[in-house]
Structure 1
Amino acid sequence: QPIGTIAIDALFSPIQKVNFVVTKARVGQMTDYDKLIMEVLTDGTILPEDAIAYAAKILKDQLTVFINFDEKEESEGDQLSFDFEGKIEYLNRKIDELEFSVRSANCLKNANIHYIGELVQKSEQEMLKTKNFGRKSLQEIQESLDGMGLHLGMKLQGWSPPEKTDVEENNKEKKGGR
């Protein structure tokens, strides 16, 4: 292509040729492994490694709609249930007390999550479906929860936010006082 040419055709691609071969591979004494050999030729505007990485990312993004996380959560339910008494002080803390970025804090408020106990009951996928909530926010929250010995996707049977409990107690006191 001459210098100064701008490719405007829908068929323009920096990838010239792709070929792959799957062969048997041996790891130690095990011979039931496969080895993937890929040949990628480009026009030089992109590295073959980058082209494969980008293609894998696109494929992963497209296939996420087929993943059923509800089934996974149910099968791990016994494992995720735990005695939260030792963590009650963390679970009852307001999200505002944690030092999240402005974006993460706003996303949690918009999702009506005010307490850590409410947050840990959400799965990663539920959080990622929240508007403006991305991988960086997820990583930030996971790191903060890890520091407290908590994680997303926990089953907290019998836990309720302290605000709701306080409101109920105040209502009972008002009724009893009259």
Structure 2
Amino acid sequence: MPGNVRRYGEESAKIIGRIVLDASFSPVRRVSYAVESARVEQRTDLDKLVMNIETNGVISPEEAIRQSARILVDQLSVFAALEGTEATAEAPSRAPQIDPILLRPVDDLELTVRSANCLKAENIYYIGDLIQRTENELLKTPNLGRKSLNEIKEVLASRGLTLGMKLENWPPAGLDK
């Protein structure tokens, strides 16, 4: 309630949970929302949030939502960082996340045809498969010489990867060869 609207001595101004302001500087004039049932294909157990936002023109309603969401995330991030909660205790038991670049096919490295064919002949289809091999293992591959090995090392280095890296839980479940 803006301070210029309240009346001094009015009992309604003393209600618990009400914050009395001297002035209203918010660019948001009015916000209303409704939660409605939504249907997507055969699913009818979904909800839809409908928001109506009126601003004074200083910022757009979309920007007001973005700023509000940013503030909410910042405020709630404190709870995500708490120690000693059950959620924190369960987190280490989850399977470690695998860098998405490791799940990409070797073809994405844009190697020469000779190098790519040699890797496929050795059943190396993903970048994660490749980085676990050592230089000596790759040099034993038929038709893959020092020049091809140097090319592979340069391409991997440009992506922050090297040969001989150790990966736990590789290959991940559901990865097709």
Q: Give the TM-score, by structure 1 length.
A: 0.43
Q: Give the TM-score, by structure 2 length.
A: 0.43
Structure of greater relative contact order (alpha carbons < 8 Å, 6+ residues apart): 1
